Structure 1
Amino acid sequence: MNRRLMVLGLLGFGLIAPVGAHDFKAGELRVDHPYATPTAPGLKTGAVYFRTIKNRGAQNDRLLSASTPVAARVEIHRMQTDGDVMRMRAVDTVDLPAKSEVKLRHGAQDGHHLMLWDLKAPLKDGDRFPVKLRFERAGVHEVMVWVQTPRRSGAASPAGEHKH
């Protein structure tokens, strides 16, 4: 079954719910533009980002974990700039305060992303793959991630240079 038919089938069963062209609804949460950057051949790590995760609800929520068939495991990572040094470390959750939005963007100096470990194949520009997100209140929801080269010049490191 090709990917387009699979996505249409998932839409029909309500497993993923698009809000816009590349948005997904998860209860009171809206996951805006899930994307990954291409990886160099042989590189076994990658990352998934989101333009934003918006919590339109009256109660706080949290991203607890994620999984995908393209990698052996997924960790939530926090990037933090400390002077001239950018540090990245695994964290347990991402807080999603009520009536707010959280950015998980590529090239951000401070923020979060999903780290993909032991990729089964390189991520290539134009590919798509599913990621299941587990939220404390909203439950488990699957989103489709687009692999794309970042468009902003100067803000992102070249593909394949996501290092820890």
Structure 2
Amino acid sequence: MRKTLCSFLLFTSIHSFADSIVEVERAFAVAVPPGQRNSAAFMTLKNNSARPLMLVAADSSISEISELHTHSEVDGVMMMRKINQIEIPSKGKAELKSGGLHIMLIGLKTELSAGSKFDLSLKFSDGSEQDIVVPVESISMQSH
């Protein structure tokens, strides 16, 4: 009986942990010319849990500031603006892509050239964090 209970508790713990994980798919950032101080990171965030989660922050050592952004139309002009969070629906996805939601990398401390990589930390509303490695691609490599 005790072994069965322990096995059940272990399975439940692993299952609960697995449900809270956000899968990051197809992360990349845009290469920029030398001297350019800003870029953006894109990805798909897949929420495997039964409750919605929010991406609430991002951080990277390659930029002075990392902000969550969206595009919106103001008087017929597309403009970027900072947002506080990006919702990832339960059992759903949030698409961070050009012309929409994205992570803005402001005040680059290093050159972002195609073929390079950098670390990015994602912070979620449930208190979890996920560190990922983001490859840098040229605009011509992007398949959107």
Which TM bucket (shorter chain)? 0.7 to 0.9
Task: Please tell me the root mean square deviation across aligned C-alpha atoms, in Å.
Answer: 2.1
2:38 counterpart of 1:49: no
* Alpha-carbon contact 1:28-1:138 (below 8 Å) kept: no
Q: Which amino acid aligns with 1:147?
A: V
Distance 1:140 1:125 in 2: 26
Structure number with the higher helix fraction is: 2
Distance 1:138 1:76 in 2: 17
Pairing 1:15-164 to 2, within 5 Å after superposition: 27-50=20-43, 52-81=44-73, 84-106=76-98, 108=99, 111-137=100-126, 139-150=128-139, 151=141
| Aligned length in residues | 126
- In the alignment, structure 1 segments of 5+ residues that lack a partner are 1-24, 156-164
Change (3 A) 1:121 1:26: farther
* Alpha-carbon contact 1:26-1:141 (below 8 Å) kept: no
Runs of 4+ in 1 over 6 A off after TM superposition: none
Percent identity, please: 27
Q: TM-score, normalised by structure 1?
A: 0.70
CA radius of gyration, larger in: 2
Q: TM-score, normalised by structure 2?
A: 0.79
Distance 2:19 2:120 in 1: 13
- In the alignment, structure 2 segments of 5+ residues that lack a partner are 1-17
Alpha-carbon distance, 1:55 to partner: 0.9
